[in-house]
Structure 1
Amino acid sequence: MEQVLTERLCAETPGEIVVFAIGMRINRLWKVWRWLPVLMEMPPMLREQEADPSIGLLSVRPVFGLRNIGVLQHWQSAEHLHAYAHQAGGTHLAAWKRFNEKIGTSGDVGIWHETYVVPAGHSESVYVNMPAYGLGVAGTLHAAKGARASARKRLAATRL
């Protein structure tokens, strides 16, 4: 179990950071044979990413909803993310090909992703009674005091 940090903390990243959200939506719950194989594509990708720190992945968190299952990630840059997604022989390209061949535009299960490129100094965070999380894993945690006491101050401090 992750250690809960019982103080008010904030995270700072050393520069630009990329927030990448990716997932699937189960549109037809009864068609388990259609959406379960799509769901099973993510664990091998996450293992591949975890095995190679040089690819630029900084943090990963699963995200679950009623019909949506996804992952929230932080990457060093859009270039790192793009290189991983298009890596010849990588699990992502193979999974993408299988999805297009087996599911395509049938409507049974959807996939989605969103990419946000956040310039240096344009993010802030706060964590209270939390383990290291999100930007706190991707960057460095600091006490949320003084110049880091409020969201406004944290944003102003990171833009210096």
Structure 2
Amino acid sequence: MARIVPKRVTARVDDEFVVFRIGMRINSLWKVHEWLPVFLAMPRMLRELEADPESGLLATQSSFGLRNQVMTQYWESFDALHEYARDADGEHLPAWKAFNRRVGEGGDVGIWHETFLVRDGEYEAVYNNMPPTGLGEVGDLVPATGSLETARERLGRSADDGRSPPEG
């Protein structure tokens, strides 16, 4: 089990990064032959990425439900993510082609992804009594005190700039 950091901290990431969310939804639970190959493809991709420290993948988190599986990945750049996705010798591209050939628009299993390009300083995070999680795995954990006490301050926004996100 990961070590709990018994205090309130924030994550500091030096430079731009990418948050990539990818998911699968099982629409027809009884059609195991349709969704199981899709489900089993992701662990192969993760093993491949983890075996290559130069891939650009920084960290990953997964959550599983009965129908929905969601993974959040942190990448050092969009170029690294795109290069992996288009690598003809890697696990992803053949799996993607097989999905489109076998399942396509049949409706029994769905897949999706979202890509967020995050500029340096355009994010904020806070963790309290948590093991390193999300950006806390990617960046440095520092005390969320002083000028890093609130979400507004972590984003470098003043109280009157009109761009402030809600506190939390």
Range class of TM-score, shorter chain: over 0.9
Paired residue type of 2:154: R
Identity of aligned residues (%): 54
Q: Which amino acid aligns with 1:136?
A: G
Residue 22 of structure 1 aligns with an amino acid whose one-letter code is I
Q: Aligned pair count? A: 157
CA deviation vs aligned residue, 1:7-33 (integer Å, no higher than 9, x gap): 101001111110000111101111111
The whole-number CA distance in structure 2 between the counterparts of 1:70 and 1:138 is 19
Whole-angstrom distance in 2 between the partners of 1:74 and 1:20: 6
Matches within 5 A, 1:116-135: 116-135=116-135
Q: Deviations over 1:73-118 (max 9, x none)?
A: 0101111100111112100011001101111110000010000001
Matches within 5 A, 1:130-149: 130-149=130-149
Rounded Cα–Cα distance in structure 1 between residues aligned with 2:7 and 2:68 = 32
Aligned counterpart, 2:10: 10
Alignment gaps of 5+ in structure 2? 158-168
Question: What's the secondary structure of 1:8's corresponding residue?
Answer: strand
Which runs of no fewer than 5 residues in structure 1 stay unpaired? none
- 1:55 corresponds to which letter in structure 2? S
Assess if the C-alpha contact under 8 Å between 2:57 and 2:76 holds in 1: yes
Determine if the alignment matches structure 1 residue 97 to structure 2 residue 97.
yes
Q: Tell me, what secondary structure is at the counterpart of 1:39?
A: helix
CA RMSD of superposed structures (Å): 1.1
Partners of 1:46 and 1:26 lie apart in 2 by: 20
Structure 1 residues 53-83: Cα deviation after superposition (integer angstroms, max 9, x where no partner): 1111111000223421021001011111001
C-alpha distance in 2, partners of 1:22/1:60? 11
Quote how far apart the aligned CAs of 1:147 are: 1.0
Once the two structures are superposed, residues 99-156 of structure 1 have per-residue CA deviations (whole angstroms, 9 ceiling, x without a partner) of 0111111000001000000111110000011100100111111011111111111110
* Structure 2 SS opposite 1:133: coil
Query: Contact conserved, 2:74 with 2:138, CA < 8 A, in 1?
Result: yes
CA distance in 1, matches of 2:10, 2:127: 6
TM-score of the pair, normalised by structure 2 = 0.90
